[in-house]
Structure 1
Amino acid sequence: MLKVYCPDVLDEFDVVTADRSAWVRENRESIKRGVKTGLPQTDIARLAAESMQAATDLERIKLELAAVILGRYSMRDGWESL
């Protein structure tokens, strides 16, 4: 149903989650190896920056989706009388 009202937001959600998933798949083994043997500081900085960017993107799209859902399907109306 949301695809009708906010296709751009849902498409961006799909892209952001797919990007995060791909990042995890691409970096999983090097992170595991790095935990055991250590990683150069440059690799740690890069992985941290990429991870934080993904988290920022996920948080942003989560807030956008929440705003659309609350704006369209707010269940607050009428609850005050219960």
Structure 2
Amino acid sequence: MKSKLTIISFIVATTILLVFFRQHTDPVISLSVSTDGRYVISAHVTEDADRHKPIGQLVLWDIEKKEKTILARNANAFSAFFIPDSHQFM
């Protein structure tokens, strides 16, 4: 059941990113949706990044305001994860 929820969350978040924002970003490595669905956090790396230690952009997407905020340009690409029941992320 948990893996099914994860897949559904990923599909919803990806659709939101594509439909609402249509702004160029590098390929997504990790993605997380806040528990209330208001925010999506994503980590992106360029195609030429080191596969063993991918460093790239950390982006916060505000779904209600339809805004994209780049939080960091040198973040660990595996770091996009919301803490359950909060708007805080790791």
Common fold, TM-score beyond 0.5? no
Which has the larger helix fraction? 1
Q: Choose 1 or 2 for highest CA Rg.
A: 1
TM-score normalised to the size of structure 2?
A: 0.29
* RCO comparison, higher one (Cα < 8 Å, 6+): 1
TM-score normalised to the size of structure 1?
A: 0.31
